[in-house]
Amino acid sequence: MPVLYLVLAAVAVLALWLVAVYNGLIRSKNRVDEAFSDIDVQLKRRYDLIPNLVEAVKGYMTHEREALVKLTEARTAAMAIHDKKDATIAEKEQAENMLSGTLKSLFAVTENYPDLKASQNFLQLQDELSDTENKIQAARRFYNGNVRDFNIKIQVFPSNMVANSLGFKKYEFFLADASEKQNVQVKFN
C-alpha cells in the first residue's frame, strides 16, 4: 500500500507541475499578444492623426505636394500591411518604418514655412504625432520584453519539454530599422 501512495503522490505532483508550467506558458503568451495589441492601438492612433496633419499642412505647402503624396501613400501601405492577416512582423516593421521616415521628412520640409510652424492646429497635431511615436516606441519595448520572457520560458529546461510537446513557438522581436542605427552626423557651417 505505501508504494501505491508514493506512486499516486508522484503522479499528482507531476500533474500539478505540468498544469503550473502550462498555465505559466499561456499567461506569458497572452502577455505577448496583449503587448502586440498595444502597438496596434498606437498605430491606429497614428493612422487617424495623419489625415488631419495633411489637411493642416495643405494650405501652407504649395510646392511640396510630393511630400504629402508620399505620406499618404506610406500611410496606405502601412495600413494595408497592418490589416493583412498573414503579414510577418518584419513586413509590418518595414512598412511602419517607412511611414515614420516619411513623417520625419515632412516635418523637415515644414521648417521652410514659418507661418505653418506658427499655426496652432499644426503644432497641436505635431505634438500629438510626436507623443504617439513615443508611445509606439514604448509599446515596442514592452512587447520585446514580453517576447524575451516568453521565449526564455519555452527554451529553458524543464519547461521547454512541455512547450515543445504542446507546440509553443518563439515570437519575433521588433528590431530597429537599419537607417535608425546609423550615427547622426552633425555639421556646423
Taking only the tens place, the pLDDT of each residue in 72-90 is 888 888 888 888 888 888 8
CATH 3.30.750.24, applies to 2-168: no
Find the length of the chain. Answer: 189
Higher pLDDT, 122 or 183: 122
104 vs 100: CA distance, rounded Å: 6
For the segment 137-141, the average pLDDT, to the nearest whole number, is 91
Indicate whether this model's pTM tops 0.85: no
Higher pLDDT, 93 or 182: 93
Flag whether pLDDT at 98 surpasses 90.
Answer: no
What sign results for the dihedral spanned by CA atoms 48, 74, 179, 64? Answer: negative
Question: Which of 44-48, 59-63, 164-168 is predicted least confidently?
Answer: 59-63
125 vs 145: CA distance, rounded Å: 30
Flag whether pLDDT at 142 surpasses 50.
Answer: yes
Flag whether pLDDT at 138 surpasses 60.
Answer: yes
**Residue 187: which pLDDT band, with cuts at 50, 70 and 90?**
very low
Flag whether pLDDT at 60 surpasses 80.
Answer: no
Flag whether pLDDT at 148 surpasses 90.
Answer: yes
pLDDT per residue over 12-27, tens digit each? Answer: 999 999 999 999 999 9
Higher pLDDT, 10 or 61: 10
For the segment 40-48, the average pLDDT, to the nearest whole number, is 89
Flag whether pLDDT at 149 surpasses 50.
Answer: yes
Compute the chain's Rg from CA coordinates. 24
Pick the most confident of 47-51, 62-66, 110-114. 47-51
Q: How far is CA 67 from CA 64, 93, 119, 134, 182, in A?
A: 6, 21, 19, 23, 23
Output the pLDDT for position 176: 67
125 and 21 Cβ atoms separated by less than 8 Å: no
